[in-house]
Structure 1
Amino acid sequence: MSSDASAAAASPMTNGTSLYGSHREADASTSPPSSHTLADVCADLHNRVTKFLNAEPQNETTKRTQQQTKVAMGVIEKALHDYGFDALSLSYNGGKDCLVLLILYLAVLHTYFTQPTSRRKEASGNDNNNDNDNTKTFPPSIPSIYAKPPDPFPAVTSFVDSSSAQYHLSLTHISTNPGTKPTPSKAKSHSSPPTSPEKQSIQAASHQDPNQISANEPHQEGKIITFRDAFALYLDSHPSVRAIFVGTRRTDPHGAHLTHFDMTDGSWPSFMRIHPVIDWHLSEIWTFLRSPHLAGDVDRAAGRDHVEYCAMYDEGYTSLGGVGDTLRNPKLKHTDPETGEERFRPAYVLTEDDEERLGRE
């Protein structure tokens, strides 16, 4: 998992509603619910992913991505077989990796909920299935957790809100705060929006330095939570969850030695971490997300030939964190030959895994 630096707690929220009655309006989701049911969305994504898998690969990267997709879907199928839907949750932050994971999860759920258990057993070759019912009823939403930074970019917040509504996530928000203070040079050089009025008021109320990145609320001052503790808080409020899908990849911090299924260790709360996209490379992530076979009716109506992802990726950001630790990737910087202005190419231009996090501090 990610590092568990100390964080000041903000009340966790499900679909914008605080579990503990927090008054923070800024965390509330304003996206209207989708007019389609989760069953509709899963069926549509299943069809799109199937088209992607059945398409003749135009190059080796596409061929590898198709293979990775099959492996990831197999991991998801095994997780559903071993744990059942009710014991599973998804870690979602709107980033590219967990978006791939989410799309594949929903595609697999279509088969899981519509194909009789006997046929699923036959397809998997495993008769030891935890499902007792021959058929299942689609749930209205997907249990999920958003362990969010204290200073999320507005574009990320907007995409998390819209995509969680589009894909029917029952998303529990838990704000964290590493409590780090950027140096003046970093603060000045950062290509980010100014501190929001809400954040300024929170900082003033807790007597913090303007450069201090914190989400402390006055009534919660001194209440410390780590990223690890955020998951403990989530599991406390969702006792049926025993395993969580995580979009970690091999090149992420702490991802080098992970497998598809890893139990937490040390002082982490006990749950199974499931990593379906652990072995995906950066080029494969973008090949999947930008495939025209994955574009839906909404995408085409908006003039896109691919699924929607966070707009910041088209602005030179390759790895998204909070405002205080995320810059545009310097490898994507170039000078416009006509205007002489400094610009950044989109994230999907980058292909080297070891350059992906050069924009993170």
Structure 2
Amino acid sequence: MNKIILSKIFVFLVLFSSFSISNADFKATNPTSNSISFSWTAIENVFIYKILYGLDSSKTVKYDKESDYIEKTSYTLYDLVSKTNYYFTLVGYDETGKEIYKSSEISASTSDKKVVNFESLFIEDAVQVSKNKIELLFSNEISDLNNYDREFKIENVKNPNDVFEVKDTAISLENKKNLLLTLDKEPVVGQDYKLIVLNIRDIYDQNIEFGVNSEAIFKGVEITQEQESKFISNKDYFSFSELNSAGTNDKDTSSNNVNSTTTSSTNEDKKDTVNQLDDKNNDNQITSTTTSVVVTNTIESGNLAGVELNSANVGNTVLSESEEISKLPVTGPEQIIFVLIAILLSGFIYIYKFIRS
């Protein structure tokens, strides 16, 4: 009896050890509108993996979709529906094809983020199109946010000391995969030249990889006057220096606008100050006029009765009135005392004469 129980326990342990359920750090990452990426840690004795998935949890129904067999510890599922939730389980198989691992179920949703598939950046072609101009064709559209005048090295294949300087770089308005380089001199007809891109970025913010992708060979060719004239009349290219100059002019214009605005504001402030001063002067004029009226009223009750004042001659009238007033006899406390003393003295003299008589 004990032997039977022990043998059952042994079989259970063997089965349990050969089949495990865990997460193995099974993660869903980088969801897009039609894909989700997965990663996990390697499981011992697992030879190959597979991801089972569906719109419903395996706790309620069986998964209706599965991935291809996976030999790595990462995988991306495509052809998913945008903004949709899915359930996923990772399973592992040994070399015999027996399922020996099953992860816990996880869920993840696709997003509305679209994926832009693009290839690496490299030079497809380089051709001399004018006496001192080289046209480049890249695999992707080039970013127009930078000036690339100093990002090229051009030298004669047979004579590395024969180098060229790029004086200007322009981008095509119709196809931003094309750049036009203006050189400081003309390539020699029949000579081969190596062009190396040191640094350039595409619209996906990819920098060109230094090496084969960033190199091209072009041959110096004879350019006829007709070809030269035809190319000069072509307005498909826009110079980066012009772009930067336009940006500088915009800044200058903006600065001028700021200065103009500041000057205008200053002038407005000055106008306000002048207006305030004018208001004060007006107030002063009103006060003076009021004073004049008071003086006039006073004068009308004195020797200048009947004098009429108007707004045109207020100032002069006030001055003349002041002069007239200053000419009038002035009666104050001192004069009154003198009068009283004189009266008393007269009284004493009168009494003295009366007594003597």
Query: Is TM more than 0.5 here?
Result: no
Q: Which has the higher contact order (CA 8 A, sep 6+)?
A: 1
TM-score of the pair, normalised by structure 2: 0.18
* Greater percentage in strand: 2
